[in-house]
Structure 1
Amino acid sequence: MNSSTAYARQDVRYEPDERPPHLLSVVLGLQYALLNVTGIVLTPVIMIGSAGGSDAYLSWAVCAALVISGITTVIQSVRIGRIGAGYVLLMGSTAAFLAVCVTALERGGQGLLSTLILVSCLFQFALAAKLSLLRKVFTPAVAGTVLMLIPVSVATTFLGKLTDVPEGASPAAAPVTAG
């Protein structure tokens, strides 16, 4: 063991199975929740705003996203058999399906979006059961490329909103009103 490794280990405050004080855990948990709630809320806001949905539907979607994210985060945190990670793993909205969801809302409304979500959920459950067989197809290079392309779909949706300025507003206000 060289001296740089020994020095790095002296800076570790808590070992992996060691529990920090309750107050520190609560403060760090609140910080983690506040950092992640924006992503959970922003995804339905962009999706429904881009599809031209009503304010009532937007309120319902944001509430549903927060509740579902909370429930699934608790399920991930509490390991029961093979279900759950056994540690805090935030489950939230993702922008990966934003373009598809906006298209579903525009073409078929809430019913098509709900059907799309249920079918894709069942498909993901089926894939998760046989994920070890797919590791040869979904290599780190393939998965990394797909993850890097997610902002491209978000950017096209968001940039399309930049031309949608309310009547009477200055065109320079487009970035402020794009949501």
Structure 2
Amino acid sequence: MEEKTEQPKGIIYGIYDRPPLRDTLFAALQHLLAIFVAIITPALIIAKAMNLDLALTGFLVSMSLFISGVATFIQCKKFGRIGCGLLCVQGTSFSFIGPIIAIGNAGGLPLIFGACIMGAPVEMIVSFTFKYLRKVITPLVSGIVVMLIGLSLIKVGMISCGGGNAAMASGTFGSYQNLTVSAVVLISVALLNCSRNKYLRMSSIFTGIVIGYILAYFLGMVDTSAFSAKDFTSFNVPVPFKLGVKFNLSSFIAIALVYLVTAIEATGDVTANSMVSGEPVEGEKYIKRVSGGVLADGLNSMIAGIFSSFPNSIFAQNNGIIQLTGVASRYVGYFIAGMLIILGLFPIVGIIFSLMPSAVLGGATLLMFGTVAAAGIRIVSSQELNRKAVLVLAISLSFGIGVELMPDILKQFPEAIKTIFSSGITTGGLVAIISNAVLNVKE
């Protein structure tokens, strides 16, 4: 048993406490409402970008929930050196969406899962060497990459607002219906976020999507004929490599950089979680906790690829819920994990959200992706912006946003090169690392 530390002011239940069942379930439900949409959104975006059918989309959503539950349990429970042992919730990562879509368009779902499995050891290795890698992936570099993640995904959000790829094909893209629904969702989320009621703020994205979904239904945008009676009674059995797996070097390179950055983000998230939970943020115990958290982050992403899902990462927003509720008990994490696993085992959950029109998703994701970009700007602005930093920022954004705006710039290159550099996140991130290491600007 780990040694307990003194609880900070405001914490009602520390990480080793077992709250009463009522308090546990209430806290777990709040965490679930805050993360549910974020967990399923990457799978929905990737599926819609690849024009996958309803059954396959529903399965990917279900596996996202199931794997998030497994990953959360591993982080909270802590198995030996694996896991951080905090109330640390994991979910499908937004950071990988750009590279995954590029890989998927080149080689389909099996190549995506292969890249996720192949790249995961990168983060696992980083868990033992993160002290040294922080000299290469500095806060400036990680801030630029986070900014590029948000900026490149805004385009994805706008496409969803207009109705998605299906609307483009049918000629209804940007219709009044699609734009109205996405606007209602966006405004609902924004207004709820401004509320003084902490519970409305925490569930703002979920509630906004429900409002948009209901509106879309009454506008005749939801095709319920896709439902069948067996959807309500069937059961998902997670099977390793159910959708196949393929490996190649170019897809690995395209995704490996994102794993590096995710490791740095996970370090920050575990640090923040330790701080709000009253645990030390320096010393041997802290280093072991961070190392275990990042190691579990990588391992969980490998498990995700094996079970036909996408890479996972620690969710930062749950740290805010710990502060609001005063409940830091990792025992609550077991209940969150159980809820996610149960939801993932029933196909009907995935199908309901797969039927959701792209415009509904677009209204929420546009705001979410803008928030990601803003987080990157905050990280960059927290650093000293001398001439070198400004030059690194300018070069990285130019290359990263450049390939996003004009992907045909790589048209003459071999397919392997296009797979690696077609994502602005990968291109801009690599340029940021190299330029930050090479440039020597004298003031």
Report TM bin, short chain: 0.7 to 0.9
Cα gap change, 1:168/1:145 in structure 2, threshold over 3 Å: closer, same or farther? closer
CA deviation string 1:62-113 (max 9, x = no partner) = 1111111100100000122211111121110111111111122222111111
Question: Distance between the aligned counterparts of 2:131 and 2:33, measured in 1?
Answer: 34
Question: Distance between the aligned counterparts of 1:124 and 1:13, measured in 2?
Answer: 32
Answer yes or no: is the 8 Å Cα contact 1:105–1:113 preserved in 2: yes
Cα gap change, 1:22/1:152 in structure 2, threshold over 3 Å: closer, same or farther? same
Listed as ranges, the matches of 1:113-152 within 5 Å are: 113-152=112-151
Residue of structure 2 equivalent to 1:111: 110
Unaligned runs of 5+ in 2: 1-7, 182-356, 362-443
Report the identity percentage.
25
Q: How many residues align?
A: 170
Answer yes or no: is the 8 Å Cα contact 1:14–1:20 preserved in 2: no
Q: Please list every run of at least 4 consecutive aligned residues from structure 1 whose deviation after the TM superposition is greater than 6 angstroms.
A: none
Residue of structure 1 equivalent to 2:30: 31
- TM-score (ref. length: structure 2): 0.35
For residue 83 of structure 2, give the secondary structure of its aligned residue in structure 1.
coil
Residue of structure 2 equivalent to 1:173: 177
After superposing the two structures, state which structure 1 stretch, 97-106 or 122-131, moved more. Answer: 122-131
Higher relative contact order (CA 8 A, sep 6+): 2
Cα gap change, 1:39/1:14 in structure 2, threshold over 3 Å: closer, same or farther? same
Question: Distance between the aligned counterparts of 1:88 and 1:115, measured in 2?
Answer: 30
For residue 91 of structure 2, give the secondary structure of its aligned residue in structure 1.
coil
Answer yes or no: is the 8 Å Cα contact 1:73–1:89 preserved in 2: yes
After superposing the two structures, state which structure 1 stretch, 93-102 or 155-164, moved more. Answer: 155-164
Please report how far the alpha carbon of residue 142 of structure 1 lies from its aligned counterpart in structure 2 after TM superposition.
2.3
After superposing the two structures, state which structure 1 stretch, 131-140 or 162-171, moved more. Answer: 162-171
For residue 81 of structure 2, give the secondary structure of its aligned residue in structure 1.
coil
Matched, 1:54 2:53: yes
Residue of structure 2 equivalent to 1:69: 68
Question: Distance between the aligned counterparts of 1:174 and 1:50, measured in 2?
Answer: 17
For residue 87 of structure 1, give the secondary structure of its aligned residue in structure 2.
coil
After superposing the two structures, state which structure 1 stretch, 12-21 or 72-81, moved more. Answer: 12-21
After superposing the two structures, state which structure 1 stretch, 154-163 or 39-48, moved more. Answer: 154-163
CA RMSD of aligned residues (A): 2.4
Residue of structure 2 equivalent to 1:4: none
After superposing the two structures, state which structure 1 stretch, 63-72 or 22-31, moved more. Answer: 22-31
